[in-house]
Amino acid sequence: MRTSWADSVSNSAAEIAIWDKNSLPRPTRSTYVPPHLRSGSISDLSGPVTGTNGGSRWTGSDGGGTKPELRRQGQANSYATAGRDAAAGGGGGGGGRNNRSGGWDRREREVNPFGNDDKIYDIKQNFSEQENSGINFDAYEDIPVEASGENVPPPVNTFAEIDLGEILNQNIRRCKYVKPTPVQRHAIPIALAGKDLMACAQTGSGKTAAFCFPIISGIMRELYAQRSHVGRTVYPLGLILSPTRELSCQIHDEAKKFSYQTGVKVVVAYGGAPINQQLRELERGVDILVATPGRLVDLLERARVSLQAVRYLALDEADRMLDMGFEPQIRKIVEQMNMPNRGVRQTMLFSATFPREIQRLASDFLSNHIFLAVGRVGPSTDLIVQRVEFVLESDKRSHLMDLLHAQRENGNHGKQALTLVFVETKKGADSLEHWLCMNGFPSTTIHGDRTQQERELALRSFKSGKTPILVATDVAARGLDIPHVAHVVNFDLPNDIDDYVHRIGRTGRAGKTGLATAFFNESNLSLARPLAELMQEASQEVPAWLTHYASRAPYGGNKNRRSGGRFGGSDFRREESIGKNLDYYSGGNSGNAYEGLVDIAGGYAPGVTSAWD
DNA sequence: CCTGGGC
């Protein structure tokens, strides 16, 4: 039998909200509601209800599990005006949805995310500086975009064209976003149209905003937008998953800026950190949950989170989330945890690379989706200079030292430019870091054997320039937005070319230039061919010896077998339907300034989008 | 072989 202590904690959002941050939640007899009295009354528990029972909107076909009492009630009538007014500009910061529990008074106490200068992941701070000093938007002008699927909504050219509402527009201005990036121009209208989306675009090109704005805007407009909980179980409306803790933190910090003063509450949950604080944060209410898979499963098994109300699901770095290591966990979360089915919820997958097998897997989670490919801004254009050097295993350390020495001498005032060094193993990371420190190069390291505290400290120390060299495993390969990384060194090359693409994408961000150096030797033969091809596509100088290895090497190092061109992937439905590895980029439109929309849906009837459905 | 992720 469960203790009354456990049951009695927190049945009221209002009560939770007044708890002192630092004091433990204390059981209060008066808040205890016996389970048999709870049903049908979540609205009572979660705040004032003024409307009558509005039609429940998430009538999802969620596998017979839907308890009627869990459907959000009320607000149907009053909302339409309240919500829309808020979205359409209810006067300054005032007009939020005050029909969500704890609504506007919570907003008053909301920490201004734009005022925090020393936050670890305060990436937009830097981004905005760059924008002010003239972000290299030209770099974005000339890239090809392809979209396929049924009824693709047209792209927009300005944020003003998108009806996100005055509050979100203010946050866009606070972020100093002048105009949408290509992935935003195309993805946001698709997402706002309620379509499922698989989007392929380089990180650093604004993907986070591309899925956050539609989710926040959607939640603001929902008719049933009453934040609910039953007992200690909370029901987020949006779920954003990412493969690493740091990336989840980063997304959370961005999402908090985008949702400032909207009344939409964003909470993050990830492993390696004490769970109690995260639990308390969840109890105070959550609309959008950003999480890593492991911790989320934990929360689901403890019944502290239910996915039954999820309307929006976004997977960042989706190809990673669906590869061998993660896929079972993701499948469990998406398919076996009471989440509304595809087609009922809206699903958005984002990544810089989309191998075809992954697309095939992903189609299990999507319903009649639109595939969007935005040409790479970074790795395969001139923004990143890629170099490959032949370095024997035994020479790697001294060679790295030479590079670092030269870099220091050429740098400003003898300062070391931020250099990110990728190695293959955790042990290798530790030992290289130690060696660098011993040789006068202040370094730190980030990998999965370090505690979360150490990982965060390392990242902060690197960003601040205190230790301008960061030795990392692939934990840092994806998504992390570290401004001003001048040089990425592939001390050990990865086995997969897509990992290489993600790694070098840590430099040359937001339209800036960067340098990527790789140490190649006989243990990297399988990468010779895809690497040579990638560099050639990017108009990089390919050393003769690499071409030689490439010509002898078998195919390898590539799960994707990319069909050439400037994208990180292409719509597998199209390729499969034609039955060939179709290179449709090498034709007319990859080189010119074509920015329009190409609907290459090419004769799919509804419901026959692919052979895997 | 390696990496990521819950106590």
Q: What is the DSSP string of A524-538?
A: GHHHHHHHHHHHHHT
Residue A277: burial class (beta carbons within 10 Å; 0-12, 13-18, 19+): exposed
Question: What integer pLDDT is reported at residue A426 of this predicted model?
Answer: 93
| Rounded CA–C1' distance between A83 and B6, in angstroms | 38
Measured at the CA of A123, the angle between CA A120 and CA A129, to 5 degrees, comes to 125
Please give the Cα distance from A507 to A23 (Å, whole number).
43
Report the share of chain A in percent with pLDDT over 90.
42
The continuous run of DSSP H or E covering A381 comes out as none
Please give the Cα distance from A61 to A346 (Å, whole number).
14
Residue A58 has pLDDT above 80, yes or no: no
Please give the Cα distance from A488 to A508 (Å, whole number).
10
Total count of residues recorded for chain A:
613
Pick the more confident residue, A104 or A433. Answer: A433
The tens digit of pLDDT for each residue in A542-595 reads 999 999 999 886 665 555 444 444 466 778 777 665 443 322 222 222 222 222
Closest residue by Cα to residue A207 from A197, A217, A193:
A197
Which residue is it, tokens 């939770």? Answer: A16
Please give the Cα distance from A429 to A431 (Å, whole number).
6
Residue A340 has pLDDT above 90, yes or no: yes
Residue A272 contacts strand B, CB under 7 A: yes
Q: Which two tokens stand for residue A359?
A: 């697309």
Closest residue by Cα to residue A309 from A499, A65, A587:
A65
Closest residue by Cα to residue A528 from A538, A516, A515, A543:
A543
Pick the more confident residue, A604 or A113. Answer: A113
Are the C-beta atoms of residues A500 and A531 closer than 8 Å to each other?
yes
Question: What integer pLDDT is reported at residue A157 of this predicted model?
Answer: 92
Question: What integer pLDDT is reported at residue A90 of this predicted model?
Answer: 35
Nucleotide nearest to A328 (CA to C1'): B5
Question: In this structure, what are the phi and psi dihedrals at residue A572, rounded to the nearest 5 degrees?
Answer: -65, -25
Pairing of strands A197-200, A384-390: unpaired
Residue A445 contacts strand B, CB under 7 A: no
Residue A613 has pLDDT above 60, yes or no: no
Please give the radius of gyration of chain A, using alpha carbons only, rounded to the nearest integer. Answer: 25
Question: What integer pLDDT is reported at residue A472 of this predicted model?
Answer: 95
On strand B, nucleotides with any atom < 7 Å from a protein CB are: 1-7
Residue numbers in A 306-345, CB below 7 Å of strand B: 323-326, 329
The DSSP symbol for A31 reads G
Three-state DSSP state, A486: strand
Question: What integer pLDDT is reported at residue A484 of this predicted model?
Answer: 83
Nucleotide nearest to A271 (CA to C1'): B6
Residue A448 contacts strand B, CB under 7 A: yes
Please give the Cα distance from A19 to A25 (Å, whole number).
7
Q: Classify the phi-psi angles of A479: left when phi > 0, otherwise alpha if psi is within -120 to 50, otherwise beta.
A: left
At residue A395, what is the residue type?
Answer: D
Please give the Cα distance from A189 to A370 (Å, whole number).
11
Nucleotide nearest to A452 (CA to C1'): B5
Please give the Cα distance from A290 to A78 (Å, whole number).
29
Cβ neighbours of A135 (radius 10 Å): 21
Between helix A207-221 and helix A166-174 the angle, nearest 10°, is 150
| DSSP letter string, A117-172 | TT-TT-HHHHHHHHHHTT--THHHHT--EEEESSSPPPP-SSGGGS---HHHHHHH
- Confidence band, pLDDT 50/70/90 cuts, at residue A303: very high
Residue A244 contacts strand B, CB under 7 A: yes
Q: Which two tokens stand for residue A304?
A: 């502290």
The tens digit of pLDDT for each residue in A231-289 reads 889 999 999 999 999 999 999 999 999 999 999 999 999 999 999 999 999 999 999 99
Cβ neighbours of A338 (radius 10 Å): 16
Are the C-beta atoms of residues A290 and A275 closer than 8 Å to each other?
no
In terms of average pLDDT, the best of A173-177, A304-308, A373-377, A506-510 is A304-308
Mean pLDDT of A343-353: 91
| Rounded CA–C1' distance between A293 and B5, in angstroms | 7
Please give the Cα distance from A374 to A354 (Å, whole number).
12
Cβ neighbours of A305 (radius 10 Å): 29
What mean pLDDT, rounded, does chain A reach? 72
The continuous run of DSSP H or E covering A364 comes out as none
Question: In this structure, what are the phi and psi dihedrals at residue A602, rounded to the nearest 5 degrees?
Answer: 50, 55
Residue A241 contacts strand B, CB under 7 A: no
Pick the more confident residue, A97 or A337. Answer: A337
Instruction: Domains for chain A: give ranges and CATH numbers.
Output: 1-32 (no CATH), 384-552 (3.40.50.300)
Are the C-beta atoms of residues A222 and A311 closer than 8 Å to each other?
yes
Are the C-beta atoms of residues A487 and A507 closer than 8 Å to each other?
yes
Residue A420 has pLDDT above 80, yes or no: yes
Residue A422 contacts strand B, CB under 7 A: no
Please give the Cα distance from A95 to A89 (Å, whole number).
7
The tens digit of pLDDT for each residue in A191-209 reads 999 999 999 887 667 889 9
Lowest mean pLDDT among A86-100, A149-163, A438-452: A86-100
Please give the Cα distance from A274 to A449 (Å, whole number).
17
